[in-house]
Structure 1
Amino acid sequence: MGIDTASSDLDMIMEVHHLQDFAKIIHNYYGSYSGFRLKNKTIRGKPIVKANFTYQEFEFELFGQPQPVAEQYAYLHMIIEKYLLDEHPLWKSKIFALKEEGLKTEQAFCAMLGLTGDPYEALIDYGRKRQII
C-alpha cells in the first residue's frame, strides 16, 4: 500500500486450529532468531498464538487464530485501509507521517477519519457502516 516505514514489520496471518502444535512448530523453526517472542492469549474471545522475531534485520509477526483469514481483523483492516487509500490517494503521505510519529497503522487511519475509541474496533465498525467489508 506504500505506507510501510523503516520500523514496519511483516504480518503473516494464518488460520490455525491446533494452536499448541502451531506454537511448537513456530518455536522449532524460529525460536533461535533474534528477538523471538511467543505469546498465547485471547483476543475478542478467540485464542491466538503470536510470534515475533527478526530475520536479516527485518521484523516478522506470525499470527495464528482458529478463524478463516478473510474474517480476521488484521485482514479486514487491510481491506479497509486499501479502500481508503484508493479513495483518498493524498492520505498516503499523511498516514506515513503519522506512523513515523509512532502511531500504529489503525491508529493513523482513525486519526484521519476522526474516529475515537479502540482503533481496531472503530476501523472495523467504520468499514461495516460504509459497506467496505
Structure 2
Amino acid sequence: MKNKANIVNFKDMSYLRNGSNKQKECYKILTKINMFNILKDYMPILVGTIPLNIDIENSDLDIVCQVDDFEIFENILFDNFTKYEDFRIKYKEKNIIVCNFIVEKIEIEIYASNVESHKTNGYRHMIIEYKLLNLYGEKFRESIIKLKKEGIKTESAFAKILNLNGNPYEELLKYERYLLD
C-alpha cells in the first residue's frame, strides 16, 4: 500500500489536475461550471470511479453533499444547473435528493442527504476501493475495469474479484476496519 505521503485527499478536487486525461477533463468541466464553489456550503466531494481511475467510457461524475434544508438546496440546483442538458431532480426518500444533468457529454449526478459527505456510503466505498487498488496493484485495477466494461457495477466487480459473498455494497464496507491508516 502507498505510504501516507502518497494518499490522495479526495475532499479537494485539485488532485484531478494531475491525473488521467479523463480526470483532467472532469476537473476542467467542474471548474468551468463552478460546481464546487456553488455547492461549497454542502461539503461536496467527488466520489466513484473517475477519482479512482477505474472509469469506463460512460462513467459519470458522482458528487455527494450534506444537506439540512432540502428546499434551499433544490433552489440552488435549479438556479445553477437547469441550463444543462437532461437536467432533472428527484427525491429518493424524504432526506435524499438526486440531481442529474449533462455537461460536455459527461453526466453529473449530485447525491444529497443529511449525512456528512465523508460518511456517505459512496465516499466510504471509494476510500475502501482506493486502498484495495493500492494494495493489490495494476493487474487488480485492470481486472476491475474489465468487469465494468462487461456491465458489472463497481462494487460487484470488487466483490467478484475478492470472492465476497452477499450484498457487495455491505461486504465492501466490512473492509473498513482492516484498511485503517
More strand by share: 1
2:111 aligned with 1:51: no
2:172 aligned with 1:95: no
Question: Is the 1:83–1:132 contact (alpha carbons within 8 Å) kept by the matching residues of 2?
Answer: no
How far apart are residue 61 of structure 1 and its match? 0.8
Q: Which residue of 2 aligns with 1:27?
A: 78
Question: Is the 1:85–1:91 contact (alpha carbons within 8 Å) kept by the matching residues of 2?
Answer: yes
Question: Is the 1:77–1:124 contact (alpha carbons within 8 Å) kept by the matching residues of 2?
Answer: yes
In the alignment, the residues of structure 1 paired with residue 150 and residue 74 of structure 2 have an alpha-carbon distance, to the nearest angstrom, of: 33
In the alignment, the residues of structure 2 paired with residue 47 and residue 125 of structure 1 have an alpha-carbon distance, to the nearest angstrom, of: 25
Q: Which residue of 2 aligns with 1:111?
A: 160
Q: 2:92 aligns with which of 41, 48, 53?
A: 41
Instruction: Tell me how large the CA RMSD over aligned residues is.
Output: 1.8
Question: Is the 1:80–1:132 contact (alpha carbons within 8 Å) kept by the matching residues of 2?
Answer: no
More helix by share: 2
Counterpart AA for 1:100: K
Q: Tell me the TM-score normalised to structure 1 length.
A: 0.87
Question: Is the 2:128–2:179 contact (alpha carbons within 8 Å) kept by the matching residues of 1?
Answer: no
Q: Tell me the TM-score normalised to structure 2 length.
A: 0.65
Runs of 4+ in 1 over 4 A off after TM superposition: none
Task: Give the number of the structure with larger relative contact order, counting CA–CA contacts within 8 Å between residues 6 or more apart.
Answer: 1
Counterpart AA for 2:53: G
State the percentage of identical aligned residues.
Answer: 36
2:171 aligned with 1:126: no
How far apart are residue 41 of structure 1 and its match? 1.8
Q: How many residues align?
A: 129
In the alignment, the residues of structure 2 paired with residue 35 and residue 116 of structure 1 have an alpha-carbon distance, to the nearest angstrom, of: 37
Question: Is the 1:51–1:62 contact (alpha carbons within 8 Å) kept by the matching residues of 2?
Answer: yes
> SS state of the match for residue 173, structure 2?
helix
Unaligned runs of 5+ in 1: none
In the alignment, the residues of structure 1 paired with residue 123 and residue 65 of structure 2 have an alpha-carbon distance, to the nearest angstrom, of: 10
How far apart are residue 131 of structure 1 and its match? 4.4
How far apart are residue 2 of structure 1 and its match? 1.9
Counterpart AA for 2:73: F
In the alignment, the residues of structure 2 paired with residue 97 and residue 21 of structure 1 have an alpha-carbon distance, to the nearest angstrom, of: 41
